[in-house]
Amino acid sequence: MKYLFTLLFLFTVSAIAQEVSEPEQLMQADRAFDLAVSQHGVDAWISFFAPNGSMIGDTSQPIVGREAIRKVMAPIFALPSFSLRWKPVHAEMMIPGRVGYTIGKSERRRKNSDGAMTLQYGTYATVWMKQPDSTWKAVFDTGCSDGPARVIDFLLFPSGIFAQPDAFRAKIDSIVSASPGVIGVAIELLESGDSLTVNPLLHLPMQSVYKFPVALAVLNRVDHHLLSLDQMIRVTKTDLLPDTWSPLRERYPAGNVDLPLREILSAMISQSDNNGCDILFRLLGGTDSVQAYIRSLGITGIAIAATEEQMHKDWNVQFANWCEPKAMLQLLKQFYLGNILSSGNTAFLRTVMERTGTGPGRIRGQLPPGTLVSHKTGSSGENEVGIAAATNDVGIVTLPDGRHYVIVVFVSNSTANEDARDATISSIARAAWDFFLTH
């Protein structure tokens, strides 16, 4: 099985060999080499060399033959978090129909002795020889670094696109740097795994973003036939607290009504109804029940400890409901991929999140009209000294070509006004949109 990717590559190259120019055949072979190595490591590296292939590695000494190459490269690929990607930029034939070369840019990532991720760019050249079966194999490979490895604060995986990721990171960096407060960002293109994070492990207050995990906990019980979206829930006058955001209270001011569970859940997500959230907390058995459910999914970077009522009594209580941006990205990703709920309840919650009306200037703010966004916002408002503890938006954006990216942006402890805080989120969402549209 480990050579399946090689066989597929050989078949593909043979099939296209008569349809494209020889330099383009080399470019395609080199791109296939990069992709296979990113997925299969040292086995793929060896498989793309001719039996007598050679290379010059970090020791600057010639390494000849597949087994010698494996002996040198296997420990490198085994390093924690090691990643090597490259992109050919030019190909030329040296002997038409027989020998040619590719040159390009490489990008190596690994953790240093302190555990920090490092990034090192380089330049490489590979000489290819046509084999008897008309496929191309590497007979010589060498490269050099463009400078020392540097510790990176932003993570973009996988790479394979070199100047552009730098520009993307720089764009996000400029937005974050210009924004007062603490900014947490996690972005991932679902179809490729390309991701970028800023402050991914900080504990940032969620505010109403935590209603998304609450909805998951409710729908998990629906999946297990412990609840039904059509069951009626008694909502009393005392359930509808007056000093909090609650479209349900405005709709049923006298209370004492029986409402279907789906209506309460929809109001909690699409309209961010605080009373609806606390009604569902009581239905589930409290915040501890929701916390235990999220932990059961393997998500440890989310803390759910206080109800909406409790948060409204004390400004500082909101910080007990915290989230690591990376953890929220993982929760959204697993939800959207259908790994948490049944297909029916996944579709239901996605639709409810697409109808979110709060925070129109955040993720949606700078995206083209009509863009499909399934998201949940969270807002603290400002305290007496003008600090906003939480201005948040998290969700999934659908690109015009049908791909999707998950985006999590938390703006915490900011002194900027609401429009500026929203603009930070919308600018990050737009930067991701522009980047992924072209890659």
Cα of first residue to Cα of last residue in the chain, in angstroms, is: 30
Assess whether 308 carries a catalytic annotation.
Answer: yes
Q: Which amino acid is at 369?
A: P
Other Cβ atoms closer than 10 A to 439: 13
Radius of gyration, CA atoms only, the chain? 26
How far, CA to CA in Å, does 302 sit from each of 91, 247, 333, 341, 410?
A: 49, 27, 15, 19, 13
With residue 6 as reference, give the H or E element that holds it.
helix 4-16
- List, as one string, the DSSP characters of 312-366: HH-GGGGGGSEE-HHHHHHHHHHHHTTSSS-HHHHHHHHHHHHT--S-TTSTTTT
Residues 6+ apart with CB under 8 A from 398: 371, 372, 373, 404
Angle at 434 between CA 88 and CA 198, to 5 degrees: 90
Omega cis (within 30) before 158? yes
In 3D space, the residue among 301, 303, 311, 274 whose CA is nearest the CA of residue 287 turns out to be: 303
**CB within 8 A of 395, min separation 6: which ones?**
332, 353, 356, 363, 373, 374, 375, 376, 406, 407
DSSP three-state, residue 238: helix
Q: What is d(CA 427, CA 333) in angstroms, rounded to the nearest whole number?
A: 22
Task: Please tell me the distance from the alpha carbon of residue 219 to that of residue 211, in angstroms, as a whole number.
Answer: 12
- Spell out the residues 6+ positions from residue 224 whose beta carbon is closer than 8 angstroms to its own: none
Q: Is 195 marked active-site? A: no
Q: How many CB atoms sit inside 10 A of residue 424's CB?
A: 24
Question: Of 308, 374, 380, 412, which residue is the catalytic one?
Answer: 308
Active-site choice (195, 208, 374, 380): 208
Classify burial at 275, counting beta carbons within 10 Å of its beta carbon; exposed 0-12, middle 13-18, buried 19 or more.
buried
| Chain centre distance of CA 61 | 40
Cβ-Cβ contacts under 8 Å for 288 (sequence gap 6 or more): none
Please list the active-site residues. Answer: 208, 308
